[in-house]
Chain A
Amino acid sequence: MSGETIARWQFGITTVYHFLFVPLTIGLSLTVASMQTAWVRTRNPDWLRLTRFWGKLMLINFAMGVVTGIVQEFQFGMNWSDYSRFVGDVFGAPLAMEALVAFFLESTFLGLWIFGWDRLPRRVHLATIWLAAGGTVISAYFILAANSWMQHPVGYRINPKTGRAELTSIWKVLTNSTQLVTFPHVVAGSLVTAGAVLMALSAWHLRRDHQVELHRKVAKLGVGVTIVASLATMGFGHLQAQVMTKQQPMKMASAEALWTTENNAPFSLFAYGDVNEGRNKVDLRIPDLLSFLATNSPSGEVRGVQDIAAAEQAKYGPGDYTPVMGITYWTFRLMMGLGGLALVLAVAFGLWLRRTGRPAPDGSTADPGATAQADPEEPAASQPAGRWSRLLLLAVVWGAALPYLANSAGWIFTEMGRQPWLVFGVLRTADGVSPGVSTATVLVTLIGFTLLYGALAVVALRLFLRHGRADIPELPGHGRPSGGDGAAGPDGSDDDLDRLPALAY
């Protein structure tokens, strides 16, 4: 393997891994802030308990996003020094702004939130979580602006003396048409991720008839967030497809394995083809849909791979301008299909919650175990309704994987689909790597990062599940006697939140 290939693998692994944690960080910090707001507004202690419980899970995930983000700040210089030299004038600006404006905000106020429960007035403390959550969103804006510039470079010129890109308008970079559709797509996708995780963990507890009332609250929140955010993700994704068709026609064509230019282009559901021959052997299609996705009109023209390749060769000189078709085609489908499945699950789970949540005479929600769900002790097969409930809840639990796979597929699609370009139409990936770093050295760090990240993934997931499966603790000095009956959870009395004098206001 060449140094370029290994450097690309390293960037791919570290960045996709980083982005496993980022969407949940963004989505969960916003939803936990909402839970705390609900508590401050209503004084309902349930929301405080949920804020604490989900806040802890948010922090387990947040930490991983923070530490893997450190690598992102430096690896452009490490593995992509010629890229950094060429574009630093443009690309460095949003990165520096991200650190200065967003990273300080999120890290400082997150520290204040974690440790400030008994130090800050209630509303000030609430403000700290919103500021930290705002920091994550601002951070996403700057880094996506930087990425959008690689997809569609604007607001720059090439300095004829140095041969390097120079910024001419930060405004154009920050309001890049690519960015304006990408940012909402990514933030909405982050909320889908958080919604799916909220749903999954609640479903896990509901399946066990465990703290039903509390987990139903979160389940409803998760369903609502997932449905709204999924629709937003799709809507902005649709706008993105149109922008992409104009700006990177090759990416759109290769996403569809559309070899020749077509009007009334169909959307391909499943295709298997021969890249060398430039045609598909098997292709299952929905008529007109691609034209609609790409141009908003069922009869719009979508250019095919072969025509675009010829046009790009004429423009940029001889060379291969086609990305790896198997990857772009399938990641595009996986992104949309898995994301769509998350929406379907949310709708199904929402209906289930409605059906099982008929108010009992005393005003509280009915126990789903009594109406629809089998008692865990009894064989589920004896109650068909309970069996279906349990199956649905199990699907919701595993459904948490859907947005993760969709997010990763989306990034792999958009980055692989840009190849062979690093900055579209301006700099090739092969010209961006560090010339002075040997292949062996990159391989060493590739292996090092992969092992470290793999080990941390196990640690973080286990910790997340251990805390996620535990009881939602009573508030200190509140309610029923805790402990002694196995209700203490895996933390036992050591749980720091148990001791937290959070009601000291």
Chain B
Amino acid sequence: MLADFWFVLVAVLWTGFFILEGFDFGVAALLGVLGRAARGSLPAPGGEALETDRRAVLGTIGPVWDGNEVWLLTAGGAMFAAFPEWYASLFSGFYLALFLVLAALIVRGVALEYRAKATTAAGRAWCDRGIVLGGLLPPLLFGVAFANIVRGVKMTPEHEVTSSLLDLLNPYGLLGGVTVLALCLLHGAVFVTLKTAGQVRRRARAAADALFVPAAAALLAYFVWTVVLRGDAAVDAIAAVAFVALLAAFGAHRAQRDGWAFVAMAATLAGLVATWFVAIAPEVLPRLGGGPGLTIHEAASSPYTLKLMTVVALVATPVVLAYQAWSYWVFRRRLVGADGPDNPAGRAAPAQEEAGIAS
């Protein structure tokens, strides 16, 4: 019973991670697209305008990305505490993929934090590369990983995963990776549309327009394959709702209802994560080609630990949600780039305050 509750809670933590870090990844990956030099219209030199735009783009995630990343650490910690066997099998099994994710996250974090402190243009350019790489690689690999969990892995009777990195790169896994990446890019574009004004917002809108069709195509293909693989009433229904949510996001985006578009994107990602977890339940790690996998109850900790962690989670989570929500409220203002109203020379705009303090 408690084990089932913790299975749901782990799913919720991963959902929080994909919704929140999802747009962080997207914004980071789209840095070069959304923060490109504005042409002609500005008296400021191109370099400075570009810099102002990029700071506005990064300013949308600057205060919150690190807190968002903690959802990943908490999901990992929760799996360790509540399902040690799952934690052990999964992370030793997906060893090289996880290594690449960790390396990309390290590079991204350092690049995001050091960009505003870099003292040369070349240093900033290196940070930009790190940010883009760190925005592209993790969602792709997380998508591959979760698709493979749904598909099932090769493992020993002791639940030691024997699938290699190349085994993970099967067509279904790759489709999962592309789907998550496309959704995160779109989510990032929608988020920047919501959080900025002026030229940066126009570019974000255009990027989202361009991304909707490929993202929808990938998601549809992935869902169809998933339904064929592990479909049941619940999976089918959630997949359908998630896909409708994506279409709703597109509608809201076209209608310039930025907030609703973001909410609908969040619902799409939540639906995608839900299909993964519903599809594998009551197992946490299915065996490839059928046969007994690792189940929730085999993987679960003792009742004492689960009870303890439940109390901790019930006390701490509302507090965390409250102050994280407050931090979003504090930074609710839309940012502007080089074309900001009081920013004729690309200096002293609100966007710079916000993006510029970026540690």
Q: Do A and B come together as binding partners?
A: yes
Q: Is B354 an interface residue (CB 8 A)?
A: yes
Verify B119–A466 contact, CB threshold 8 A: yes
Contact partner, A100, options B83, B106, B312, Cβ 8 Å: B312
B305:A84 contact, CB within 8 angstroms: no
Given A85-B88, A111-B67, A60 contacting B327 (CB threshold 8 A): no
Known interface pairs A59-B113, A118-B353; A452-B358 also in contact (CB < 8 Å): no
Which of A90-98, A192-200, A335-343 makes up part of the contact surface?
Answer: A90-98
Which applies to chain A's interface (DSSP): helix, strand, loop or mixed?
Answer: helix
Assess whether A108 is in contact with B324, with CB atoms less than 8 Å apart: yes
A97 to B82, CA, bound (A): 12
Instruction: Give the CA-CA distance A119 to B330 in the complex, in Å.
Output: 7
Contact partner of A88 (CB less than 8 A), chosen from B66, B105, B301, B323, is B301
- Asked whether, in the complex, the Cβ of A459 is within 8 Å of the Cβ of B114, the reply is yes
Given contacts A92-B301, A111-B327, contact A70 B308 (CB under 8 A): no
A415 CB–B CB distance under 8 Å = no
Q: Which residues of B contact A494 (CB under 8 A)?
A: 119
Q: Mark A227-251, 1 if CB is under 8 A from B, else 0.
A: 0000000000000000000000000
Across the two chains, which residue of chain A brings its CB closest to B320?
A104
Kindly list chain B residues whose C-beta atoms are within 8 Å of the C-beta of A496.
116, 352, 356-358
Task: Find the B residue at minimum CB distance from A436.
Answer: B160
In the assembled complex, the Cα of A496 lies from the Cα of B115 at a distance in Å of: 11
Interchain CB contact under 8 A, B77 and A119 = no
Once the chains bind, are B117 and A77 in contact (CB under 8 Å)? no
A490 to chain B, nearest CB (A): 5
Shortest Cβ distance from residue A185 to the other chain B in the assembled complex, whole angstroms: 25
Interface presence of B210 (CB below 8 A) = no
In the bound complex, do residue B92 and residue A79 qualify as a contact, i.e. CB atoms below 8 Å apart? yes
Query: Is the beta-carbon distance between A63 and B114 smaller than 8 angstroms?
Result: yes
Contact residue among A107, A116, A159, A448 (Cβ-Cβ distance under 8 Å from B66): A107
Q: Which of B92, B156, B313 has the most CB of A within 10 A?
A: B92
**Stretch in A27-35, A163-171, A293-301 with 4+ CB within 8 Å of B:** A163-171
Structural contact, A78 and B67, CB atoms closer than 8 A = no
Stretch in contact with the other chain, from A318-326, A351-359, A376-384, A497-505: A497-505
Specify which of A93, A109, A491 is in contact with B81 (CB 8 Å cutoff). A93
Interface status of A283 (Cβ within 8 A of chain B): no
User: Provided the pairs A99-B76, A167-B304 are in contact, do residues A456 and B81 lie with their beta carbons within 8 angstroms?
Assistant: no
- Counting CB contacts under 8 A, is A445 at the interface? yes
Which of chain B's residues have a CB closer than 8 A to the CB of A491? 119
Q: Is the CB of A120 within 8 A of B301?
A: no
Q: Is A307 an interface residue (CB 8 A)?
A: no
* Residues 376-424 of A contacting B (Cβ, < 8 Å): none
Contacting residues of chain B (223-259) with chain A, CB-CB under 8 angstroms = none
CB pair B357 A500 closer than 8 Å: yes
Cβ of B42 within 8 Å of any chain A Cβ, yes or no, is no
A114–B105 touching, CB < 8 Å: no
Q: With contacts defined as CB atoms under 8 Å apart, how many contacts are there between chain A and chain B in the complex?
A: 251
| Partner among B64, B95, B156, B317 whose Cβ is within 8 Å of the Cβ of A437 | B95
Q: Which residues of chain A are within 8 angstroms of B118 by Cβ–Cβ distance?
A: 463
For residue B348, which residue of chain A has the nearest CB? A499
Query: Are A73 and B62 neighbours in the complex by a CB distance under 8 Å?
Result: no
Q: Are A441 and B96 in contact (CB under 8 A)?
A: yes
Provided the pairs A111-B67, A436-B162 are in contact, do residues A99 and B114 lie with their beta carbons within 8 angstroms? Answer: no
Q: Verify if A68 is at the interface (C-beta below 8 Å from B).
A: yes
B317 engages A100 (CB within 8 Å): yes
Are A78 and B92 neighbours in the complex by a CB distance under 8 Å?
yes
B30 at the interface (CB under 8 A from A): no
Q: 1/0 per residue B86-119: CB within 8 Å of A?
A: 0111111101101100110111011001101111
* Distance between Cα atoms of A103 and B75 in the complex (Å): 12
* B78 contacts A by Cβ under 8 Å: yes
Closest B residue to A442 by CB, please name it.
B95
Inter-chain contacts of B73 with A (CB < 8 A): 69-70, 73, 99, 103
Task: Establish whether residues B106 and A452, one from each chain, have CB atoms under 8 Å apart when the complex forms.
Answer: yes
Residue of A82, A87, A96 with highest tally of chain B CB at under 10 A: A96
CB-contact partner of A167 in B93, B162, B302, under 8 A: B302
B331 in the interface (beta carbon within 8 A): yes
Cα distance, A66 to B359, chains bound together (Å): 14
- B209 in contact (CB, < 8 A): no
Q: Check: B63 CB closer than 8 A to any chain A CB.
A: yes
Tell me if A1 is interfacial: C-beta within 8 Å of chain B: no
Question: Which residues from chain A contact B102 at a C-beta distance below 8 Å?
Answer: 70-71, 74
Given A70-B106, A96-B309; A84-B88 close (CB under 8 Å): yes
With both beta carbons as reference points, the residue of chain B lying nearest to A102 in the complex is identified as: B70
Residue pair A84, B331 in contact (C-beta under 8 Å): no
Check B302–A441 contact: CB distance below 8 A: no
A290 contacts partner chain B, Cβ-Cβ < 8 Å = no
Chain A neighbourhood of B162, CB < 8 A: 436
Contact at A107–B90, with CB atoms within 8 Å? no
Q: Quick check: B84 and A96 within 8 Å, CB to CB? A: no
A467 CB-CB contact with B under 8 Å: yes
Shortest CB-to-CB span from A43 to chain B, Å, is: 22
Chain A residues numbered 457-505 whose CB sits less than 8 Å from any CB in chain B? 459-460, 463, 466-467, 490-491, 494, 496-497, 499-501
Q: Contact at B77–A96, with CB atoms within 8 Å?
A: yes
A92 neighbours in B (Cβ, 8 Å): 77, 79-82, 84, 87, 301, 305
**CB-CB nearest 4 A-B residue pairs:** A88-B84, A77-B91, A92-B81, A92-B80
By a beta-carbon cutoff of 8 Å, the part of chain B in contact with chain A is 62-67, 69-70, 72-74, 76-85, 87-93, 95-96, 98-99, 102-103, 105-107, 109-110, 113-114, 116-119, 156, 158, 160-162, 301-302, 304-305, 308-309, 312-313, 316-317, 320, 323-324, 327, 330-331, 347-348, 352-354, 356-359
If A73-B73, A92-B84, A463-B118 are given as contacts, then 18 extra A-B residue pairs at C-beta distance below 8 Å, sorted by A number, are: A56-B359, A70-B69, A78-B95, A89-B81, A89-B301, A92-B77, A93-B305, A95-B77, A96-B309, A99-B76, A107-B66, A107-B67, A111-B67, A114-B62, A115-B63, A460-B110, A463-B117, A500-B353
User: Can you show 9 pairs from A to B with CB atoms below 8 A apart?
Assistant: A63-B113, A78-B99, A81-B91, A99-B76, A100-B320, A167-B308, A460-B110, A463-B118, A496-B352
